Amino acid sequence: SDLRRQGERGELLQPLIFVSLVLCSVLLYFKVSLMDPGFVKSEEELKASKSEEQSVVIPQVPSDIKMRRCGYCMVKQPMRARHCQLCQHCVRRYDHHCPWIENCVGEKNHPLFIAYLSVQLVVLLWGGHIAWSGLFFEQSWDWLQHNILLLMSFLLIAMLTIVDLLLLISHLYLISCNTTTWEYMSHHRISYLRNSELENPFDQGVVLNLWRFFC
């Protein structure tokens, strides 16, 4: 049959890989959007769960900086945490609240968020290539009528690709500096950065920053 001959020639491999990437992108989207981004637990919750997770992953606070209590949810905020009014929680190593996934990007889901952006970029580039390969430009009204949907799809994919690429590049740059979007944008308003002798006290070099973030 035609399907068997296409399989023997390897023509079905690319569609299967593309569908797998799309499925992986969708699964990553739901995983990142539904998982706990790193909500700060109250003292009662910490005692009930007997969890030592926060004391392990949160940097030690310098002696001249006092732990502050959040004025919204009344939990003690560890360093690099921030209260998100949309999620109604304090988030450890808060980066930003992403309307794309309708969730905060924080300590727990930030690496998966980068993985999602990377897979999504590959899917968009591949989809853009498919849409472009189907366009054969002619300066006629009939051509535009028959190809308007394909042309609009390509323009939409191109726009989303640019947004995804810029977002991924900016996050990888901040990760390589061991800083977050919130810290980068609000450096002058954050006490542990404003009072620090170093511009970025968490920076340990590009290689070590990337290793500790992803590994």
Q: What is the pLDDT tens value at each position of the chain, 215 positions in all?
A: 555 665 555 567 888 899 999 999 999 999 999 999 999 987 666 655 654 444 444 444 444 445 678 888 888 888 899 999 998 899 999 999 999 899 999 999 999 999 999 999 999 999 988 888 766 655 555 656 777 787 888 899 999 999 999 999 999 999 999 999 999 998 888 888 888 878 888 999 999 999 999 98
CA distance 107 to 58: 10
Tell me: do 180 and 81 sit in the same domain.
no
Asked if 92 and 143 sit in the same domain, the reply is: no
Q: Is residue 203 part of a domain?
A: yes
- Kindly state whether residues 109 and 190 are assigned to the same domain: yes
Task: Give the residue numbers spanning the domain of 114.
Answer: 2-36+100-214
Same domain, yes or no: 91 and 131: no
- Pick from 86, 33, 80: nearest CA to 179: 80
The answer to whether residues 110 and 180 belong to one domain is yes
Q: Are residues 32 and 107 in the same domain?
A: yes
How many domains, in total, are found in the chain? 2
Which amino acids are annotated catalytic?
Answer: 98
Give a yes or no: residue 70 inside a domain. yes
Do 75 and 26 belong together in one domain?
Answer: no
- Give a yes or no: residue 87 inside a domain: yes
Residue 55 is assigned to a structural domain of this protein: no
Task: Specify whether 138 is located in the same domain as 108.
Answer: yes
Task: Please answer whether residues 57 and 107 qualify as being in contact, where contact means their C-beta atoms are separated by less than 8 angstroms.
Answer: yes
201 and 136 both lie in a single domain: yes
Under DSSP, the state recorded for 65 is S
Q: Are 21 and 126 in contact (CB under 8 A)?
A: yes
pLDDT at 141: 58
This prediction's pTM: 0.81
| Pair 121, 88 in one domain | no
